[in-house]
Amino acid sequence: MIGRADFAALTGDSPAARDEWAAVVAAWSEPHRRYHDLRHLAAVLGLVGELGAAATDPAAVALAAWYHDVVYDPRRGDNERASADRARAGLAGLVPEARLAEVERLVLLTAGHAAEPGDTNGAVLCDADLAVLAGPPEAYAAYASAVREEYGHLPDDVFTAGRTAVLESLLELPALYRLPATREWEPRARANLAAELTLLRGRAS
């Protein structure tokens, strides 16, 4: 799902598109990434492919998946904005402006994963991005551990406070998953989030 041919199917196979694919893959391969890496990109792209029939513009959703964490620096707070800007710069001239604007919107949507009712493009991308939350407990634990590694520069108390806020914001969403095909993931995801939150609160007390 992360080969050049997959990218070219969305952008064409021009020299500029080939260079852009290489740059995007290089960004996702940065050594500080532990969860937000090529494996995550491949997983999201795979799910976007499976769920894409629900989208009104599957190509825009797939491109947004390629770029949704293309900029990922745990020390900054605007990764989604930076990733959206990177998508606009990298895809300029490779896709129509209307699609590029939708890619930008979708990347920004992953900051809070709050797709509005009827936003099927947003639902496909956000559901795919949050699928990890609904994994078996051991897989979820591995995900949470990898995220902690990415924030290894933070002391435990600072990380715990920030991670707690993230988990609480997710649990406050009226629904984590918006598509009929993914709604069955909801109970497991909420159980995993609640279990991690309980663990973090125990450490903080």
Residues 98 and 172 in one domain: no
Angle between the 120-129 and 97-109 helix axes, to the nearest 10 degrees? 50
> What average pLDDT score do residues 150-164 get?
97
pLDDT digits (tens, 9 = 90+) for 47-100: 999 999 999 999 999 999 999 999 999 999 999 999 999 999 999 999 999 999
Residues 94, 16 contacting (CB under 8 angstroms): yes
Same domain for 89 and 43: yes
DSSP 8-state code for residue 61: H
Mean pLDDT of the chain: 97
Whether residues 117 and 175 fall in one domain? no
Q: How much is the pLDDT for 159? A: 97
Q: How confident is the model at residue 204 (pLDDT cuts 50, 70, 90)?
A: confident
Q: Do the beta carbons of residue 127 and residue 64 sit within 8 Å?
A: no
Judge if 61 and 22 occupy the same domain. Answer: yes
What CA–CA distance (Å, rounded) separates 188 from 172?
15
pLDDT of residue 17: 98
Domain count, the chain: 2
User: Residue 120: its pLDDT value, please?
Assistant: 98
In this structure, are 40 and 82 located in the same domain? yes
* Domain-ending residue, one of 99, 114, 129: 129
144 and 116 co-located in one domain:
no
Say if residue 116 is in the same domain as residue 190: no
Crossing angle of helices 15-28 and 38-51, in 10° steps, is: 120
Q: How confident is the model at residue 181 (pLDDT cuts 50, 70, 90)?
A: very high
Token output for 34: 């532990």
> Do residues 85 and 180 both lie within one domain?
no
When pLDDT is cut at 50, 70 and 90, the band that residue 203 belongs to is confident
Q: In terms of domains, do 157 and 74 share one?
A: no
pLDDT of 15 reads 98
pLDDT band, very low/low/confident/very high, at 1 (cuts 50, 70, 90): confident
pLDDT tens digits for 159-177? 999 999 999 999 999 999 9
Task: Tell me the CA distances in angstroms from 49 to 42, 80, 176, one per residue in order.
Answer: 10, 22, 19
Query: At 177, is the secondary structure helix, strand, or coil?
Result: coil
Q: What are phi and psi of 73, to 5 degrees?
A: -125, 110
Q: Tokens standing for 186?
A: 């909801």
Among 102, 100, 10, 8, which Cα is nearest to 62's?
A: 10
Nearest to 121 by CA among 179, 80, 175, 180: 179
* Domain end call among 85, 100, 129: 129
What domain range includes position 97?
Answer: 1-129
pTM (predicted TM-score): 0.96
DSSP string, 18-58: HHHHHHHHHHHT-TT-SSSSHHHHHHHHHHHHHHGGG-S-H
Q: What share of the chain is helix, strand, coil (3-state, %, to 5)?
A: 70, 0, 30
Domain limit, last residue, from 84, 102, 129: 129
